[in-house]
Amino acid sequence: MSADDQVLVGRSITKRFGGLVALNDVSIEVPKRSIVGLVGPNGAGKSTLFGCLSGLTRPEGGSVMLNGRDVTRTKPQKRARLGMARTFQQPELFTGLTVREHIVLAHRVRFERRRLWSDMVGPRSIMKPPASETEAVDAIIELLEIERLASMPVTALPLGSTRLVEVARALACAPDVLLLDEPLSGLDVNESEALARALVKVVTEAERDLSLLLVEHDVATVLAISKKIYVLDFGQLIASGTPDEIRSSDIVRAAYLGDDAVSETAAD
Ligand SMILES: Nc1ncnc2c1ncn2[C@@H]1O[C@H](COP(=O)(O)OP(=O)(O)OP(=O)(O)O)[C@@H](O)[C@H]1O
Ligand SMILES: [Mg+2]
Measured from the Cβ of residue 31, the count of other Cβ atoms closer than 10 Å reads 17
Residue in 46, 215, 233 to alter for ligand 1 test, most ligand atoms within 8 A of Cβ: 46
78 CA distance to ligand 2 middle (Å)? 23
Q: How far apart are CA 7 and CA 51, in angstroms?
A: 17
User: Who has greater pLDDT, 262 or 207?
Assistant: 207
Which residue has the least CA distance to atom 17 on ligand 1? 47
Checking DSSP bridges between strand 211-215 and strand 177-181, what pairing results, if any? parallel
Torsion angle (degrees, nearest 10) of CA 19, 22, 25, 27: -170
Q: How far apart are CA 75 and CA 205, in angstroms?
A: 30
Q: How far apart are CA 164 and CA 145, in angstroms?
A: 10
Q: What is the pLDDT of residue 261?
A: 47
pLDDT category of residue 6 using cuts at 50, 70 and 90: very high
Q: What is the pLDDT of residue 18?
A: 94
pLDDT digits (tens, 9 = 90+) for 69-118: 999 999 998 999 899 998 876 667 888 889 999 999 999 988 877 777 66
Measured from the Cβ of residue 92, the count of other Cβ atoms closer than 10 Å reads 8
**Backbone angles phi and psi of 59, in degrees to 5:** -75, 155
Closest by alpha carbon to 5, among 265, 228, 254? 228
Q: What is the pLDDT of residue 268?
A: 47
pLDDT digits (tens, 9 = 90+) for 143-152: 888 999 999 9
Write out the H or E segment, with its range, that includes residue 138.
helix 131-143
pLDDT digits (tens, 9 = 90+) for 185-194: 888 888 889 8
Which residue segment(s) compose the domain that 146 sits in?
Answer: 3-267
Residue 172 has pLDDT above 50, yes or no: yes
Residue 265 has pLDDT above 60, yes or no: no
Q: How far apart are CA 93 and CA 154, in angstroms?
A: 7
Q: Answer left, alpha or beta for residue 67, where phi above 0 means left and psi between -120 and 50 means alpha.
A: left
Residue 181 has pLDDT above 70, yes or no: yes
Helix (H, G, I), strand (E, B) or coil at 83: coil
pLDDT category of residue 259 using cuts at 50, 70 and 90: low
CATH number, domain with residue 30: 3.40.50.300
pTM of the model: 0.89
Whole-number mean pLDDT of the chain?
88
72 CA distance to ligand 1 middle (Å)? 21
Which residue has the least CA distance to atom 7 on ligand 1? 17
40 CA distance to ligand 2 middle (Å)? 9
Which residue has the least CA distance to atom 29 on ligand 1? 43
Residue 266 has pLDDT above 80, yes or no: no
Which residue has the least CA distance to atom 9 on ligand 1? 48
Structurally, the chain folds into a number of domains equal to 1
What average pLDDT does the segment 39-55 reach?
95
pLDDT digits (tens, 9 = 90+) for 119-157: 665 555 556 778 889 999 999 999 888 999 999 999 988
Q: How far apart are CA 99 and CA 166, in angstroms?
A: 10
Residue in 15, 47, 52 to alter for ligand 1 test, most ligand atoms within 8 A of Cβ: 47
User: Which ligand has the minimum distance to the alpha carbon of residue 45?
Assistant: 1
